A and B are shown apart, each in its own frame.
Chain A
Amino acid sequence: NFMLTQPLSMSESPGKTVTISCTRSSGSIASNYVQWYQQRPGSGPTTVIYEDNQRPSGVPDRFSGSIDSSSNSASLTISGLKTEDEADYYCQSYDDSGWVFGGGTKLTVL
């Protein structure tokens, strides 16, 4: 199995843009889709990006995803930050052994 590493925490001001990284430890980041989940306190996870860069219906286009093979990482970018974006964010991918989650990034918007 591989690991996905995320920064533990990030903070940014409302209206700004933040990019959360997710680095794959072994194997190519491009070999398996990456998803991103938002989890607010006391709630379950919800998908904000799937298949590297696809947004589910209802997710604002302020959320975007990408992968970078040179750094073997995926990124979640949130532009025009709102206080409601304050949450934990998890990346997720998979291999034949099952799903793999990153450790999560606590995003503070203040």
Chain B
Amino acid sequence: QVQLVQSGAEVKKPGASVNISCKASAYTFTNYGISWVRQAPGQGLEWMAWISAYNGHRNYAQKFQGRVTMTTDTSTSTAYMELRSLRSDDTAVYYCARDSGGYRPDYWGQGTLVTVSS
């Protein structure tokens, strides 16, 4: 069964960075991309970025360009998302999702709560 297991909750101060991991299992990691989607408290889903696990090609939402970096480690089938210069409005649950063919998520991680507070 395909699984995406994310790292645990984080509490960060404004201006800090956070790095979230997403470990994939039960499929060939390099055959799919990984996207990151976030959801602020009481708000909707917001797509942030995508990375090809095959060749590392990335696509970032304009809103996050310059603040977010996605990487993968194919030896451990793990994707990482780093978000820098955190602000209070970055408080959200961050989900990784397997990209099915470039246009939709078909499997989701369990979500990682990032709280940004002084």
Contact = CB atoms under 8 A, between A and B. Distances in A.
A36 to B, nearest CB: 10
Contacts of A28: none
B50 interface: yes
Interface residues of B, number: 21
Contacts of A50: 104, 106
13 contacts: A44-B95, A44-B109, A44-B110, A44-B111, A45-B105, A45-B108, A47-B106, A90-B44, A90-B45, A94-B103, A94-B104, A98-B49, A99-B50
Given A97-B62, A99-B35, A101-B44, 8 more contacts: A1-B62, A44-B95, A47-B104, A92-B45, A97-B59, A97-B61, A100-B47, A101-B37
Interface string B85-118: 0000000000100000011111011110000000
A100 B50 CA distance: 13
Interface of A: 1, 32-33, 35, 37, 44-47, 50, 90, 92-94, 97-104
